[in-house]
Chain A
């Protein structure tokens, strides 16, 4: 070591000795952040944190975190700043839209357990609206039933579902959802009866509840006819 480099080496070790307590207090911490709703809000949080606190942001991981919450990883000197201080500052920062950020704590309550009142209501009215009950097709004379069903289909259903059940009836374009192509039920077995009967009775989407208009026998006639509608090409 020559006499020119000696002072540099000594001063380097001196600086190292001075900074040792600072390095000793450097810690890394992770915060789950609530309130990041846009690209602008990620930038606003980071820039405002750096402006207010003497910390180093390692990263802000938006994706593939275990909890699903964005995770902000920071490095700071625990002798100068506390974790609570960082949390407080995060809670005071507002995103460009004026919403405040927050450090998420505890488990995520997406759906709490049902209350007694809800359980009681479910026991009275059933769990879901589409609780298809087991029904048995009572039709004996299928030929005549299909004839009656066809008449009713032309009268009540063809305007929306189309005369051949293709779902393109004359008024179908006015709906948000195209009516069902009814040939999917061609030759369906008895397992589809509960579903078809329920849909006819209660309606679905834009389809009205035909249970208010048609009798139970008429609905079965209609179901029997629907099962005979063939897809194009099979006719």
Chain B
């Protein structure tokens, strides 16, 4: 995992009304690899280690100071995943998304929620 991983990006609708549900999209360009590969097909299929296993382990969603969701992920997740979820706009506060991978490395992104209309 030599390449530098950029922080995640959040996209939120510009028109958010109080007490209405809004959609949050989070894009994170992170590799996902089980670490295994099959390099010999002459005998029975046996996988050998090919690269260190790499995946996003946890995704935490904060709305203001409150932790609203935790996604427990595995190496089955796609490379560069896009997450979409909905939140109810109860307050003007930042939405923060934290990603932690299997090495314990942490990335975060946040976006301020402001009511319009």
Interface residues, chain A, with chain B CB atoms under 8 Å away:
34-39, 41-42, 62-63, 65, 67-70, 108-115, 117-118, 120-122, 124-125, 128-129
| Residue of A109, A110, A114 with most partner-chain B CB within 10 A | A110
Q: Which of A37, A39, A109, A121 contacts B52 (CB 8 A)?
A: A109
Q: Which of A37, A108, A115 contacts B100 (CB 8 A)?
A: A115
B48 adjacent to A36 (CB under 8 Å): yes
26 A-B pairs, CB-CB below 8 angstroms? Answer: A34-B50, A35-B50, A36-B39, A36-B48, A36-B50, A37-B37, A37-B39, A39-B39, A39-B40, A41-B39, A62-B46, A63-B40, A65-B48, A67-B49, A68-B48, A69-B48, A108-B52, A108-B53, A111-B102, A112-B102, A112-B103, A112-B104, A113-B104, A115-B100, A117-B98, A124-B67
Interface residues in B65-99 by Cβ distance below 8 A to A read 67, 69-70, 72, 98
A85 to B1, CA, bound (A): 23
Q: B residues within 8 A CB of A34?
A: 49-52
- Not counting A110-B53, A125-B69, a sample of 20 additional A-B residue pairs whose C-beta atoms are within 8 angstroms of each other reads A34-B51, A36-B37, A36-B39, A36-B50, A37-B37, A38-B37, A38-B38, A39-B39, A39-B40, A62-B46, A63-B46, A70-B39, A108-B53, A109-B52, A110-B102, A113-B104, A115-B104, A117-B60, A122-B70, A125-B70
* Chain B positions 30 through 51: 1 when the CB is less than 8 Å from some CB of chain A, otherwise 0: 0000010111110100101111
B70 adjacent to A62 (CB under 8 Å): no
- Return the 3 tightest CB-CB contacts between A and B, nearest first: A112-B104, A37-B37, A68-B49
Q: What residue of chain A has the Cβ atom nearest to residue B108's Cβ?
A: A117
- Measured as residues with beta carbon below 8 angstroms from the partner, the interface class of chain B is 20 to 34
A38 to B60, CA, bound (A): 36
A63 to B98, CA, bound (A): 38
CB distance from A173 to the nearest CB of B (A): 25
B49 adjacent to A108 (CB under 8 Å): yes
Interface residues, chain B, with chain A CB atoms under 8 Å away:
35, 37-41, 43, 46, 48-53, 57-58, 60, 67, 69-70, 72, 98, 100, 102-104, 106
Q: A residues within 8 A CB of B48?
A: 36, 62-63, 65, 68-70
CB distance from A2 to the nearest CB of B (A): 52
Q: What residue of chain B has the Cβ atom nearest to residue A64's Cβ?
A: B46
CB distance from A41 to the nearest CB of B (A): 6
Q: A residues within 8 A CB of B50?
A: 34-37
A121 adjacent to B102 (CB under 8 Å): no
A117 adjacent to B51 (CB under 8 Å): no
B58 adjacent to A121 (CB under 8 Å): yes
A130 to B49, CA, bound (A): 31
Q: B residues within 8 A CB of A129?
A: 72
A68 to B41, CA, bound (A): 17
A125 adjacent to B67 (CB under 8 Å): yes
